[in-house]
Amino acid sequence: MPDITRESSRRSPLSIDDPGLAERIRAGDRAAIEVVVKAYLSHILRAARGAGLDETQAEDVTQETFATFIEKAPSFHGRAHVRTWLFGIFYKKVLEFRREASRSQQHDDIDEIVEQRFSSDGSWLRPPRAVDTDVYHGEIREWLRECLDTVPMRQRLAFVLREAEGFSSQEICNILDVTRTNLGAMLHRCRNRLRECLEARGIRGSRDARL
């Protein structure tokens, strides 16, 4: 484990995009490690909540992610962006907490549900309901939290990294160690599961006609 308390005050101020950052992280430079912690602490904590961890678990995962990051700093070669590397560590920590199989799921019930919405010629059999802006921007947030709890963790994390963190598909593939085809299937399943869940709530709720 590198000594991150090493003095580095004589070096120039660093930013997260500094080209020399990787080298300084590798050297266990405290200033470089501080830059990474300050830049990504809130992102990791949010992503942990987004992955469905409760507050205590989210804080634990965040702390352990950065502890491992600091411990493994000497092996960071800068081939990937530090953010990708950090989120890769984070993903492994989340898996430890959720103890969910990291292999891709071959079968998922949502595939059949989606299939049933289309006729044999590929056109909609049960078309989506029109989006009501008020509903989608109001209740949807509360409903979405609940609906996300029905989504398997890996799909959920792929979706959160995509929509909330704005990662590119390639970055998410690197973080979750999946192929682009796998990622597409995960996003497809997650979004359709959320859509079905939200539509079902809309049908049962008071705003039936409007969702």
Residue 90, SS3 per DSSP: helix
25 binds another protein (CB under 8 A): no
Task: Give the rounded distance of the alpha carbon of 195 from its chain centre.
Answer: 18
Counting contacts by CB under 8 A, is residue 184 touching another protein?
yes
26-45 residues near another protein, rule: CB under 8 A: 30, 33-34, 37-38, 41-43, 45
Site track for another protein across 140-159, x = CB under 8 A: xx--xx-------------x
Q: What is the 3-state secondary structure (H, E, C) of 35-93?
A: HHHHHHHHHHHHHHHHCCCCHHHHHHHHHHHHHHHHHHHHHCCCCCCHHHHHHHHHHHH
Helix, strand or coil for residue 63?
A: helix
Q: How far apart, in whole angstroms, are the C-alpha atoms of residue 175 and residue 107?
A: 22
Does 131 help bind another protein (rule: CB under 8 A)?
A: yes
Residues of the shown chain interacting with another protein in the complex, contacts defined by CB under 8 A: 4-5, 30, 33-34, 37-38, 41-43, 45-47, 49-50, 59, 62-63, 66-67, 70, 114, 118, 121-124, 127-131, 133, 136-137, 140-141, 144-145, 159-160, 162-166, 168-169, 180, 183-185, 187-188, 191-192, 194-195, 198
